[in-house]
Amino acid sequence: MPTPSPARATLAAAFAADRARWLGVLLALLGAVDSVYLTYIKYANAPVFCSGVGDCESVNNSVYSQVGGVPIALFGLGAYLLIAALLSAENRLPVLRAYGPLAVFGLALTGTLYSAYLTYVELFILRAVCPYCVISAILITGIFILALVRLRRSLAVGAE
């Protein structure tokens, strides 16, 4: 079996990097949908649809569900939309080609750490778990892992 040419290997690596970028966009958009629902619930003071799984009401009505009167879900929505926008525009703007992977990594790291804190609050302080919060934690962690992989790739390419 012949060895692929260097150009073909570079093209395959670019496709793999692009696939990770678009998967990140997809995860961010799913996180935005989750955040929109939780933001709506908070502002509408409506019951959360949990189907008997978890205790969404306790989590959503706790003091930890907002910062300065602003729902945490609204901050999450902003973060997810910013991540999706950065990833989507990365190939179109020179500054994002250079710094986009680092910016997404920073946002995803911050989101993952804050999500870990909120998970701690749910489990050990509130003793209640919201499935929508768990979904968000999984999505931001997935984005973080993809961002880490992409950042390592961009640093490796920059070192060549």
pLDDT greater at residue 1 or residue 143: 143
Instruction: Confirm whether 6 is domain-assigned.
Output: no
- 66-94: buried (b, 16+ CB within 10 Å) or exposed (e) per residue? beeeebbbbbbbebbbebbebbbebeeee
Return the CATH number at 81.
Answer: 1.20.1440.130
pTM: 0.86
Q: Is residue 62 part of a domain?
A: yes
Q: What is the DSSP string of 45-86?
A: TPPP--TTSS-HHHHHTSGGGEETTEEHHHHHHHHHHHHHHH
Q: Does any domain span residue 113? A: yes
What is the band of 154 on the pLDDT scale with cuts at 50, 70, 90? Answer: confident
pLDDT for position 101: 94
Examine residue 7 and state whether it is found in any structural domain, yes or no.
no
Residues in the chain: 160
Q: In sequence order, what are the residues at sequence separation of 6 or more whose Cβ sits closer than 8 angstroms to the Cβ of residue 55?
A: 126, 128, 129, 130
Do the domain assignments include residue 132?
A: yes
Residue 56 located in a structural domain: yes
Q: What is the pLDDT of residues 101-120, one digit of tens each?
A: 999 999 999 999 999 999 99
**Does 77 fall in a domain?**
yes
Q: The tokens of 129 are what?
A: 């778990």
- Note whether residue 106 is domain-resident: yes
**How many folded domains does the chain comprise?**
1
Strand partners, 67: 70
Rounded CA gap, 80 and 127, in Å?
27
Domain that holds residue 145: 25-159
pLDDT tens column, 41-98: 999 988 888 877 888 889 998 999 999 999 999 999 999 999 999 999 999 999 998 8
